[in-house]
Structure 1
Amino acid sequence: MAQLTMPHFFSDHMVLKSDSSTVFWGWSKPGRTVQIKASWLPDTLTTVAAGTSKWKTVLPTAKAGGPYHIVIISEKDTLKIDDVLMGEVWICSGQSNMQRSAKEKLPQMLDALHGPFNNNIRILNVRDIAAPWPQENIYDQWSLCDSQSLRPFTAIGYFFAQKLNQKLNVPVGIINASWGGTCAEVWLPAGEVLSDSLLAQKARLQTIAPRKPNLPGQAWNAMVYPFVGYGISGALWYQGENNTVSWDGYAALFSKLIQSWRSNWKADFPFFFAQIAPYNYKNKGIQKGALVREAQGQVALSVKKTGMVLTSDLVNDINDIHPLMKKEVALRMADLALADVYHQTAKNVQSPVYKDYTIEKDKVIISFHHMEQERLLVKGGRINDLYIAGADQKFLPADYKIKGNRLVVFNSRIKKPVSVRYAFSDTALTNLYSTNGLPVSLFRLDKWEVPTNN
């Protein structure tokens, strides 16, 4: 009986990260020599299966292109992997807004199913499976793009790949490991959550549901951990709606998630994410959706090699938690990658995020990150959901003036202003922009536990 096997994602049509190396592994009879003959390498790689049957080596990759093939030999057993491309590899994860596809009748992806299809874009769709401990294999393989393979595939991942391929002219592989309705706790190693008293306490707020895992580490174990060591260019993330219940722990949780992924891969890869969209959570008091968005902005500023794209101007219906405009989110993520990873543009591709403020008499002057060489502008008659308050914590609609890249906020009824809030509610849509075309993120100058529309 043949004993030479490999994880299913080492398959025909796979994409390996070019000009680098990847861990390459499988199983054979203990003690047997395993030879790896890659068509782009002049020499054969050799390793030996350990007592656990596992063998492992580091496989150098080639410059972008292909196709190549790999032959793996262990005594009389032989495996062959055909149609291997070298290029860029990104992993997508999160909950349903990342997972959303043509299967849910997403119009932009339904249009994409008509083609044309690009042989240099390859996809790997990881099915939804959870596990109580780390796994070493999955059930899925790489696919070429066609109307059948793309139907259940992440729209954001696919449109991101299209833009990268168009601009870089290299193959792009996308791994989709996302699961609708999941909390962030399930997407990092359980020990990272349970060893932290705050995160462990917040994790207990996640309730059991029949359609998703709820315990720390369960999706990480089965859908992400198997890929650890496989060379990736970076990660894309869209999640947070299911952590509104634990909003005050989200910044710490999300920061630890990013750190744990990088630590496991032993690589400081870029990590780009979408700020969750405005949605009517029916919160009558504390606006927990806004607070998660605020936490995501804090992570973008505090964790290196991250980037946040806003969705607050891409919402067609605040009563639908799944905004339709996924291609626009993907293109913003691709712009981040093209600027920060591939250095293909000098354009400012970051949304403005609150930086600091000063008070001059009855006016509050607000500055923003990512506004060098840019100006503020309003799309529409007035800035939406801009409020100002004094020490009484009573917010009133604010007047404003734009002075270059700064915002001056005031109200004639408030002589001693203390705080300003912009779009700081679950449902507020943003219409204040930078001249780079990207919206300004919500912000507040206070930490008061009062709703803005009080």
Structure 2
Amino acid sequence: MLRWTKKIILITSITVYSSIALYAQKRVACIGDSITKGLGLKKENKTYPQQLQELLGPNFNVQNFGFSGATLLSKGHKPYVETQEYKQALAFHPDIAIIALGVNDTDPRNWPNYGDEFEQDYSTLISNLRKSNPGVSIYICTLTPIFSGHTRFLSGTRDWHQAITALIPKIAKNNQVKLININEQLKSRIDLFEDNIHPNVEGATIIAKQVNQAIQGIAQPLSVKANFGDHMVLQRNRENAIIGKASSNKKVTLTFNHKTYQTQSDDNGDWSILLPKRSAGGPFDIQIQAEDEELKINDILFGDVYLASGQSNMAFELKNALGGDSLIQMNAPKVRLFKNTNLVQTNPTSWDLNTLEKINKLDFFSGNWTLPTQENKANFSAIAYAFALEVSSRTNIPIGIVELDVPGSNTESWINRTTLEQDNLLASYIHNWRKSDFIQDFCRTRSDQNLALSSTKYQRHPYEPAYNFEAGISHWLHTQFTAILWYQGESNAHNIELHELLFKTLVSSWRQNFKQDLPFYYVQLSSIERPSWPRFRDSQRKLNTELENTYMAVSSDVGDRSDVHSKNKIIIGNRLANLALAHEYKFKINADYPTFDHYTIKNSRIKVYFKNCKSLKTNNNQPLQGFTLIDEKGYSLQPGKISIQKNCVSLAMPSDKIITEIRYAYSPYSTANLQNEAEVPASTCSFKID
């Protein structure tokens, strides 16, 4: 009888304790649509509310009130406020409410008709939740992304998604609720959205973690972004942001040059401190503290910072370049290097599953600031290093050079996704790039080889549109740069007109994303026996005349007939350096290539006048080569007697032909040899004769 009584007391005690624990739990209502509900997830996978429950722990009671297809708009085709889930959410009297609605409002049945009521309907939903529990803490979420492969993307969904995205922060502010940005980490992860709208279980995990951080904060070590570190160069004469992470809402103190700067990390643990402008010099140190944590960055110089990017000719290493050994041996006390090493080379092999997963997670580039040791120089871009050495030695200013390139990569891969999606032509193929003729067949074939073992519909690859921006460039957007060095185009030479659009888009989007009017110093493609290259080179010349603050270095005189990777790289780096010295540092040198200015015709002779030159000559004073005349029937003719007179080339024309066009250096592999008095070669060009 006594044992039985003890059991009754024990069971009663457990029941009372459980009831108290349940009563003490904070109630969390996850309000949303199919993304909250978990549409598309396998049965064994957990929705974001289920994962949130695990993250929050036993002191919270998380309930999923998602309804597939629900609209925020009360007059939409499936209004959330008319669902049973909405009634249950109110009856739940949540202490915390997470609202993630709006994706379905991009439907043409909804936004065009009732979009003007979105703000008031959202405010009403928030108000009703407060009525159910006046003490409720409400968080509203940004929209998750909709990718360009969605069937209605170009017929309105893209634009309406952007309109709603712009409204949500305003709604949060005006209703005094907190905003959770669940879009930021998902917008660059198309691999998680097989149907272009619903995230898979990994996407649900990302959402759950973001919501958990908003509710509980985050504990993490004090750190700075990976592109800060010992031996770095910060841009002189500009404010520089030092950016890092700490635990949520912690005071961060930075000491630099005997001055102290303070800030506080936000709910996500992010912090940023702005250093004042400083002239060239150094070295300096920085100390950073957050409570009992401390880190130090040593040997910092202030100077000029350049970003060198593109494909394999930019990646071509100094140790393989003609004359590279002498530069490797030479001291460069004011040059600092940051090489973004590729996770794997795009060779004709199949990548293993571990590599494929890392690439999906955008873990493709890694690196740090280094001193120019012989080993570091040898493995660095020959063009970029030659540029940095020349500029630093002639200006006596520290030069930091960041190399970020991928052999074989196309222009599309370096442009951010939002910009690509904004262009109707580009948005039509970027999600289906491996089967699109807009992408060069080399890129498609090689990526198919690399990705042969992947079963992911949108498996990532560094030739994929937007990938190199998302995995690489995006990490440098806070950095102040003097200018961009660019050598790319080989993987876009199959479609010249498309490249013209892409290059203009690249330049404008980088300037917009970096929030700097960055000068672009780019290399014109070289000479090789590839039939489209003369017209491509001429197109690059025309782009130079159309785009402000761009400068082009000619390389066709140092090409290789059969090898796309000519070893003559140091001279190209020096040409880029001379352009920068002329335009950034105002050196009195003629670094620009001589180009067509105007012509005159008299007595069967045409005189072609060039600008960017005081006089013209030929390389090594050899006979002038490279000019071709085109007659009215399209036939190519060789000119008669040719002579050079100061800045003019005089060509004899056949008297029995009507000449309609003149071309220079228009052979795929060109032996054209015209240059100015500073030995800067003339560009491939063509012009019409009226």
Tell me, yes or no, whether TM beats 0.5.
yes
Match of 1:450 in 2: none
Q: Which has the higher helix share?
A: 2
Deviation at residue 198 of structure 1 after TM alignment: 4.3
Match of 1:267 in 2: 516
Q: Classify 1:91/1:25 alpha carbon distance in 2 versus 1 (closer, same or farther; 3 Å).
A: same
Q: Classify 1:398/1:181 alpha carbon distance in 2 versus 1 (closer, same or farther; 3 Å).
A: same
Q: Which amino acid in structure 1 is aligned with residue 275 of structure 2?
A: L
Out of 373, 388, 392, the position equivalent to 2:633 is 392
Match of 2:616 in 1: 376
Structure 1 stretches of 5 or more lacking a match? 282-286, 448-454
Q: 1:33, 1:47 within 8 Å by CA — same for their partners in 2?
A: yes
Deviation at residue 433 of structure 1 after TM alignment: 1.3
Task: Give the SS at the match of 1:245.
Answer: coil
Q: Which residues of 2 match residues 101-180 of structure 1 at below 5 A?
A: 101-102=317-318, 105-113=320-328, 115-128=329-342, 139-180=366-407
Larger radius of gyration: 2
Q: 2:253, 2:290 within 8 Å by CA — same for their partners in 1?
A: yes
Out of 94, 98, 106, the position equivalent to 2:314 is 98
Output the TM-score relative to the length of structure 2: 0.59
Query: Does 2:34 align with 1:34?
Result: no
Q: Which amino acid in structure 2 is aligned with residue 321 of structure 1?
A: V
Question: In 1, distance between residues paired with 2:554 and 2:677?
Answer: 15
Q: 2:233, 2:301 within 8 Å by CA — same for their partners in 1?
A: yes
Q: Which amino acid in structure 2 is aligned with residue 258 of structure 1?
A: V
Relative contact order higher in (CA < 8 Å, ≥ 6 apart): 1
Q: 1:401, 1:409 within 8 Å by CA — same for their partners in 2?
A: yes
Task: Give the SS at the match of 1:348.
Answer: coil
Structure 2 stretches of 5 or more lacking a match? 1-218, 344-357, 431-435, 451-460
Deviation at residue 411 of structure 1 after TM alignment: 2.8
Deviation at residue 147 of structure 1 after TM alignment: 2.1
Deviation at residue 413 of structure 1 after TM alignment: 5.0
Q: Deviations over 1:397-452 (max 9, x none)?
A: 112333331223333254421111111121113201112211111111259xxxxx
Question: In 2, distance between residues paired with 1:217 and 1:234?
Answer: 21
Query: Does 2:276 align with 1:76?
Result: no
Deviation at residue 354 of structure 1 after TM alignment: 2.5
Output the TM-score relative to the length of structure 1: 0.89
Q: Which amino acid in structure 2 is aligned with residue 390 of structure 1?
A: D
Question: In 2, distance between residues paired with 1:398 and 1:219?
Answer: 46
Match of 1:425 in 2: 667
Question: In 1, distance between residues paired with 2:255 and 2:625?
Answer: 61
Q: Classify 1:120/1:378 alpha carbon distance in 2 versus 1 (closer, same or farther; 3 Å).
A: closer
Question: In 2, distance between residues paired with 1:19 and 1:81?
Answer: 20
**Cα RMSD between the aligned structures?**
2.4
Question: In 1, distance between residues paired with 2:566 and 2:477?
Answer: 31
Question: In 2, distance between residues paired with 1:364 and 1:262?
Answer: 41
Deviation at residue 107 of structure 1 after TM alignment: 3.8
Q: Which residues of 2 match residues 277-356 of structure 1 at below 5 A?
A: 277-281=526-530, 287-315=531-559, 317-343=560-586, 345-356=587-598
Q: 1:186, 1:218 within 8 Å by CA — same for their partners in 2?
A: yes
Deviation at residue 142 of structure 1 after TM alignment: 0.3
Question: In 2, distance between residues paired with 1:132 and 1:299?
Answer: 34
Match of 1:284 in 2: none
Match of 1:451 in 2: none
Q: 2:631, 2:637 within 8 Å by CA — same for their partners in 1?
A: no
Q: 2:235, 2:304 within 8 Å by CA — same for their partners in 1?
A: yes
Match of 2:464 in 1: 215
Match of 2:92 in 1: none
Task: Give the SS at the match of 2:418.
Answer: helix
Match of 1:25 in 2: 243
Counting aligned pairs with the same residue, the percent is: 26
Task: Give the SS at the match of 2:533.
Answer: helix
Question: In 2, distance between residues paired with 1:414 and 1:377?
Answer: 30
Q: Which amino acid in structure 2 is aligned with residue 267 of structure 1?
A: Q
Q: 2:322, 2:569 within 8 Å by CA — same for their partners in 1?
A: no
- Aligned pairs, how many? 433
Task: Give the SS at the match of 1:177.
Answer: strand
Q: Which amino acid in structure 1 is aligned with residue 336 of structure 2?
A: R
Q: 1:163, 1:331 within 8 Å by CA — same for their partners in 2?
A: yes
Match of 1:416 in 2: 658
Deviation at residue 239 of structure 1 after TM alignment: 1.0
Q: 1:26, 1:56 within 8 Å by CA — same for their partners in 2?
A: yes
Question: In 2, distance between residues paired with 1:293 and 1:239?
Answer: 12
Task: Give the SS at the match of 1:248.
Answer: helix
Q: 2:321, 2:570 within 8 Å by CA — same for their partners in 1?
A: no
Q: Classify 1:249/1:446 alpha carbon distance in 2 versus 1 (closer, same or farther; 3 Å).
A: farther
Task: Give the SS at the match of 1:445.
Answer: strand
